[in-house]
Chain A
Amino acid sequence: GAGVSQTPSNKVTEKGKYVELRCDPISGHTALYWYRQSLGQGPEFLIYFQGTGAADDSGLPNDRFFAVRPEGSVSTLKIQRTERGDSAVYLCASSLTRELNTEAFFGQGTRLTVV
């Protein structure tokens, strides 16, 4: 596809369950980011991948959150033992590189609701 694709667009889960959120970046983009946008807030950085490796995971709130990008393309954000406070829109973005003049393109997000 032409843009960053995130699936599912909406996910409702029960407290305590495990969820996976998928991000398909733009083909050829080596940098991939996950952000979380809570209601009334701006997006908050979670994790950044350069290729297959997590170059910066300093934004992950706790060890229930984990993300992978095994082949340097698709990424999956995994949340264990979900809590109501995890409810938010999870945004994925990709860019060609991290160099100046490269733009980060965002997907439409996955709206996660924990009930």
Chain B
Amino acid sequence: AQSVTQLDSQVPVFEEAPVELRCNYSSSVSVYLFWYVQYPNQGLQLLLKYLSGSTLVKGINGFEAEFNKSQTSFHLRKPSVHISDTAEYFCAVSANYGGSQGNLIFGKGTKLSVKP
């Protein structure tokens, strides 16, 4: 079974500051890792994903994440945030079933609040 822990439920930051949203996972099998963003009154949108290869993954809107297998982490980072990045961010894992994706297991989410 897989599980995801997002260590911070809320992260307030000032505009143009860097941000890191933390995600740790546990799994007995190989996994794929995802970050989704949910803007107010909108559906979940994929930010980025790690399937294999380079451990540094770049996504949309200037976000990136680094897969660290030894620390079972997949932290999300952005060097300079904008007001428009205010949203809730979800880390998710799915099991690697020999090249197919399993169902997504989500963390509880981190609410990023960017202040002017």
Contact = CB atoms under 8 A, between A and B. Distances in A.
Interface in A87-115: 91, 93, 98-109
A43 B103 contact: no
Interface size class of B (residues with CB under 8 A): 20 to 34
A43 B108 contact: no
Interface string B75-116: 000000000000000101000000111011111110000000
B68 interface: no
B51 A100 contact: yes
Contacts of A44: 106
B42 interface: yes
Contact of A99 (B42, B46, B100, B107): B100
A23 to B, nearest CB: 12
A103 B44 contact: no
B104 A104 contact: yes
A40 interface: yes
B45 interface: yes
Interface in A66-106: 91, 93, 98-106
A40 B90 CA distance: 12
Given A40-B108, A42-B108, A100-B51, 6 more contacts: A42-B4, A42-B106, A43-B90, A98-B101, A107-B43, A109-B43
